[in-house]
A and B are shown apart, each in its own frame.
Chain A
């Protein structure tokens, strides 16, 4: 089967760009990537139709000389389908922007919990080997948790994420923090640590945090409506 090199190149470039965009973190870029990928694959169908020939009208020419019409019928169907799905994806990205102020794809809940746990551990004892990194208190806490003595939500905001029934406010993802580690939870253990560490003034961290917050809000296009909905959600009212 003769294959047009230019079609093959076009399809290859489209698919490569599509894959690159698909690997991005924001939903809108992923959808652009999906559109490009889809177009690249549609070009593959045109390649599969074989060498170009005469228009396939019945009786106009010898069927041997005509272009194979079947792949084009499939391409048309595929275009219609991807149009509909793209519309849905864009709507989803818009809704995510309304709710969270960005359309970033969240990390897996489980992944973030593991990450959080590890970070908390290293925070407490950076110099200890892994096996001793857990403090006695947190070990007891884990035991109590496994016995069901208290709900994990007290300690772990992501625990509430696992209960699917109620809608939970957006938790800051790693990407939100712009490379910085997640803001530590203001809690019992935190306060203790501040008391111990003398090399850093206790007020420094919260100041840094609020600076990060404002930068985050400011950096988002259309921060006005989004912050409003954000606040609504953190207030725990849920949506109406």
Chain B
């Protein structure tokens, strides 16, 4: 048995688990344990994968032994392994958290029977998107996770959820169609959908055709990643879902979009001519998202807007496409998945204790529920980028990369990211002031519900994970740097999938400073 077979597990296990939990729909307890076991198994698989990719480089599994040009290939490099590791941990923690919530209060609002199968199907889609070695498989992965997310967003089919989901479903349908049309266009232009082969063939296309293909794919992924002009759907649809569902959506779904953009900008279209567009979108996401967050009076909406805003940081690194920027982006993605999910879980705790997430009604929680205060304070400070947390490290990495990048656009973005960081702190301080200080209302004092241990424990585990990202920042940054240099070079990926001869046909690679070089080491300028 070769180690490559492990690559199929992150997709197969949750799908099998989903089928199994559906069969067990009358046994709630058993269902939960099956789901937890499945996700723990994926976490283990991701750890083993992470170990092997550092040893052997890129792992490739050709399903059914078809040639990569015809069949489905699953590919894992360092980036994939890291994303799988973080996402499986987050989904596991959120599942444990939600087990307490569904039991305690939401029993009639959340039909548990379909919750676990859909949740596992979502995980299967996310893993598939991370592992996909061809564009069409990536599309299928996106569809699986989107279909699951539609169901999770409308759990219970209540009025507000149906309304929120309508917008979400329509926007997602549109992005899927654009993606599908882009796949067709790519096939017409290159005759393949395999990412490695596309990388080889796209290099030889005319700049105009390349740009059209790139823009189509970028719009499709940009909607999913909620990059500024395409982000208006997010703050309107996420906050209505149950807290654990929002946590997973906020943490993972947008990051799948970012992951796809990262692959697009490195493997398929290295250091392309739209870099400045990406940087402009990053700047606008940062600034407009955070202004939205400052203006809101609902905790979950504030957090949704900060999510939109902080997508800009990751796009900043991708837009520069320098070695340092990519490394910092990869680290930042891992940090942001964890911390944003934790914050939504903490928001769920606040809702549990205070009965609402409306900041005007909340108050005095610091005295009434000191544990929740701590559980909110740490990820909140982490998000705002207060040293020594991982948010600070990621931002410093990005800013350092921006200084090294040394172009006007880079300097502008550095300024904007510092301002955004400050405004994030302001938004967080506003939440703290309103929800944790102030005089509590009678309603909150009388509503004395104890904190369920499981929910608090799951949130604490997430915080511990984010602290591990902080403490182990050195090795993780090193790992992220290796991942970045491997994806910027492009050859490891292509030669692992197609063999060394194909890799030699690659015309371009990206150097450390983010310039596109042709085969002779000359900079290409279009």
Contact = CB atoms under 8 A, between A and B. Distances in A.
Given A1-B188, A41-B180, A74-B183, A105 B166 contact: yes
Looking at chain B's contact residues, the main secondary structure is helix
Contact of B147 (A22, A38, A84): A84
Interface stretch (B264-272, B357-365, B510-518): B357-365
B273 to A, nearest CB: 24
B133 to A, nearest CB: 15
Given A77-B136, A105-B167, A165 B183 contact: no
Contacts, number: 136
Contacts of B143: 81, 85
Given A162-B358, A164-B240, A96 B162 contact: yes
Interface string B156-179: 111111110111011001101100
Contacts of A30: 170, 173
Contacts of B411: none
A144 to B, nearest CB: 11
A163 interface: yes
Contact of B157 (A41, A95, A165): A95
Nearest to B241: A164
Contacts of B160: 161, 164, 167-168
B184 A148 contact: no
Interface stretch (B293-301, B413-421, B475-483): B293-301
Given A41-B181, A41-B184, A95 B170 contact: no
B356 interface: yes
A164 B184 contact: no
B166 A96 contact: yes
B140 interface: yes
Given A74-B193, A96-B166, A151 B358 contact: yes
A112 to B, nearest CB: 11
Nearest to B298: A162
Contact of B140 (A77, A89, A167, A240): A77
Contacts of B526: none
A44 interface: yes
Nearest to B347: A164
A51 B169 CA distance: 36
B356 A106 contact: no
B31 to A, nearest CB: 22
A225 interface: no
A38 B360 contact: no
Contacts of B161: 167
Interface string A22-45: 100001001000100110010011
Contacts of A71: 184, 187
A27 B168 CA distance: 12
B477 to A, nearest CB: 37
B372 to A, nearest CB: 16
A48 B147 contact: no
By CB atoms of chain A within 10 A, which of B146, B181, B235 has the most? B181
A165 B235 CA distance: 15
Contacts of A92: 150, 154, 162, 165-166, 169
A126 to B, nearest CB: 27
A88 B150 CA distance: 8
Contact of A108 (B157, B162, B232): B232
Among B139, B167, B170, chain A packs the most CB atoms within 10 A around the CB of B170
B236 interface: yes
B185 interface: yes
Contacts of B156: 239
A84 B169 CA distance: 13
B177 A152 contact: no
Interface in B22-50: none
B297 A45 contact: no
Nearest to B359: A148
A109 B170 contact: no
Nearest to A34: B173
B70 A70 contact: yes
B438 interface: yes
A233 B159 contact: yes
A78 interface: yes
Nearest to B160: A167
Interface string B279-307: 00000000000000000111011000000
B177 A41 contact: yes
7 contacts: A78-B139, A95-B162, A99-B159, A99-B162, A108-B236, A151-B360, A163-B357
Q: What 6 pairs across the A-B complex have the smallest Cβ distances?
A: A48-B188, A44-B184, A48-B187, A162-B298, A167-B158, A163-B358
Interface of A: 1, 22, 27, 30, 34, 37-38, 41, 44-45, 47-48, 70-71, 74, 77-78, 81, 84-85, 88-89, 92, 95-96, 99-100, 105-106, 108-110, 145, 148, 151-152, 159, 161-165, 167-170, 233, 238-240
